[in-house]
Amino acid sequence: MAFGIKQVKVTTSKNYSMESLYEAIKDHEFTPGKPELVSQGFAKIIAFPAIDKNNQCQITQGWFKGAEGNKFTVMRNEEAGVGNMVKNAFLDDLTGGITGLGKLGGKNNQLAQQQVDEVVAELNKMGL
């Protein structure tokens, strides 16, 4: 982990697309809250409720959209969603990056990193 970025790899016993993984976990009560399937650019990710615009626990895949696989990354990232990507980039540009400092450290960043560990543990317990 460096500069507030935490990424943990998770391997499942079966192959899933992002959509099928979401279907498998959507009713589970995770510590950070209820997961949502969100569009992030050209990809789909699973996102948990954002702590703030700079800190959110997310699950991503390491292959092309629509394909299935068994390797996922649980990570702390900026709030997901195409609209949020544009808004965050605009605010960072407008303020010279000051509004993005929360993604580098601080209380919310630490909480998001803790959520990553909690989600990984909960996914592993689910026996996917």
Average pLDDT value for residue range 73-90: 68
66 pLDDT tier (thresholds 50, 70, 90): low
* Overall pTM > 0.85: no
Instruction: Please check whether residue 72 lies inside any domain of the structure.
Output: yes
Instruction: Please check whether residue 53 lies inside any domain of the structure.
Output: yes
pLDDT at 87 over 80: no
Instruction: Please check whether residue 1 lies inside any domain of the structure.
Output: no
pLDDT of residue 104: 57
pLDDT of residue 4: 58
What is the rounded CA–CA span in Å between residue 68 and residue 80? 21
Instruction: Write down the mean pLDDT value for the chain.
Output: 82
Instruction: Please check whether residue 92 lies inside any domain of the structure.
Output: yes
What is the rounded CA–CA span in Å between residue 69 and residue 105? 32
Residue 48's CB: how many other CB atoms inside 10 A? Answer: 23
Domain span at residue 40 reads 7-123
Instruction: Please check whether residue 128 lies inside any domain of the structure.
Output: no
Instruction: Please check whether residue 26 lies inside any domain of the structure.
Output: yes
Find residue 38's DSSP bridge partners.
45
Give how many domains the chain has, as a whole number: 1
81 pLDDT tier (thresholds 50, 70, 90): low
pLDDT of residue 45: 93
Instruction: Please check whether residue 20 lies inside any domain of the structure.
Output: yes
pLDDT of residue 105: 57
Contact 24, 14 (CB under 8 A): no
pLDDT of residue 120: 97
Handedness of CA 111, 27, 73, 46 (dihedral sign): negative
39 pLDDT tier (thresholds 50, 70, 90): confident
Instruction: Please check whether residue 36 lies inside any domain of the structure.
Output: yes
pLDDT of residue 3: 52
